[in-house]
Amino acid sequence: MTEPTQATMLTPTALDGVRVVEMGQLIAGPFCGKTLGDFGAEIIKIEATVTGDPLRNWRLLKNGTSVWWQVQSRNKKSVALDLRQQEAQDIARKLIAEADVLIENFRPGTLEGWGMSPDELHQLNPGLIILRISGYGQTGPYRDLPGFGAIGEAMGGLRHLTAEPGRVPVRVGVSIGDTLAALHGAIGVLLALYHRKAHGGKGQVIDVALHEAVFNCMESLIPEYSAFGAVREAAGSALPGIAPSNAYPCKDGWVLVAGNGDSIFKRLMTAIGRQDLADAPDLASNAGRVARVAEIDTAIGKWTFQSSVQEVMDALGAARVPAGKVYTAKDICEDPHYQAREMLLTQETRDGYSVTVPGVVPKMSGTPGGVRSSAPGLGDDTDAVLAEAGLTNEQITLLRSKGVIQ
């Protein structure tokens, strides 16, 4: 595991000087904030008093706080406000007035209900970039329906494909819809920041819907339907229309093989002792291989089943055929490649223990990202942020006594 170094902490960051107010919770909005924060943006996270972001209590807890929180909220400042109170809304406006970016992933209309519509916020701060992530977007007949990541994955077309044929559509095991929405949101924020700086543009609203972020990654799903009336169906571990690309059984597990390149296919067939398939004229291109994919998969599976995963990996590696084992968390933590590329960082938490967390992606040569601060406790930064915003100690004490802040 790698610990963040002092040199890394002092290296200039790509988003140094960008101030972000994050009003979202759970996954999509906060993951976008985490991504921007990893590259130097100042992230002021507004949380509800008493409870904070529900992610603090999701999945496995250590010392009463989710270890997921330690990843999602690193490089952030926590300001606890009871936004049901007018004075808390006024404080939020004050912080937003000095920000470059606002991130929110409430149900459409929530900000408007607090008197913080984009038009009202742009009157306070014309250059403000507002990222709004929601289940179905800010417009359209579904805008007011509750939308979570799983629903976005289904509506975006992904859930129909992630299953064995004829069986229940399954999740991929993580909140991929939220993450895709967050990354699309981060792209939008960076585009808007560039436009504002390079072209003298004002602030603007970025509208990201969960299902559209998933839909944008669905490759040829719609063109195939439009051109041929073809509805792509679930195909289990295979990649429909591309062959061979599948998971194959070994003595002690499974191995993934991507032999769908023309020259790669020849090397693969030679490696498994099927020179007849390597030399078959109709298998020289992908279209021919797709027509005989069952035969090819059977041949590969018979060969892999005779050996261990490592033996198969060694043989295919020597033949320069892309192959990989199915990694668990344990495999990742023990893998030398992950370690060499600093993808496993040791992070000291404010609860007094160390935890291994994912490193920063992508890697940048001149302005690398890094972990500058650990995830905050609820309201850890309320006093400091409000003091910087111009509130006196007396005002802060009074607001706390009234339950406006924590």
Task: Write down all domains in the chain, each with its CATH number in brackets.
Answer: 6-217+335-401 (3.40.50.10540), 245-328 (3.30.1540.10)
Query: Which of 38, 53, 178, 297 is labelled catalytic?
Result: 178
Contact (CB, 8 A) for 320 and 326: no
Does 140 score more than 60 pLDDT?
Answer: yes
Three-state SS for 63? coil
Q: Please state, in angstroms and rounded to a whole number, the distance separating the CA atoms of residues 5 and 314.
A: 35
31-65 confidence digits (pLDDT tens):
999 999 999 999 999 999 999 999 999 999 999 99
> Residue type for 256, please?
L
> Residue type for 193, please?
L
Q: Please state, in angstroms and rounded to a whole number, the distance separating the CA atoms of residues 287 and 283.
A: 8
Question: To the nearest whole number, what is the mean pLDDT of the chain?
Answer: 94
Q: Pick the closest to residue 147 from 106, 104, 102 (CA basis).
A: 106
Residues 6+ apart with CB under 8 A from 93: 116, 121, 124
237-248 confidence digits (pLDDT tens):
888 889 999 999
pLDDT for the residue numbered 163: 85
Three-state SS for 305? coil
pLDDT for the residue numbered 5: 46
Three-state SS for 205? strand
Provide the token pair at 276.
């007849």
pLDDT for the residue numbered 384: 98
Does 93 score more than 90 pLDDT?
Answer: yes
- For residue 350, count other CB atoms closer than 10 A to its CB: 14
Q: Pick the closest to residue 214 from 172, 243, 255 (CA basis).
A: 172
Residue 351 known to be catalytic: no
pLDDT for the residue numbered 351: 92
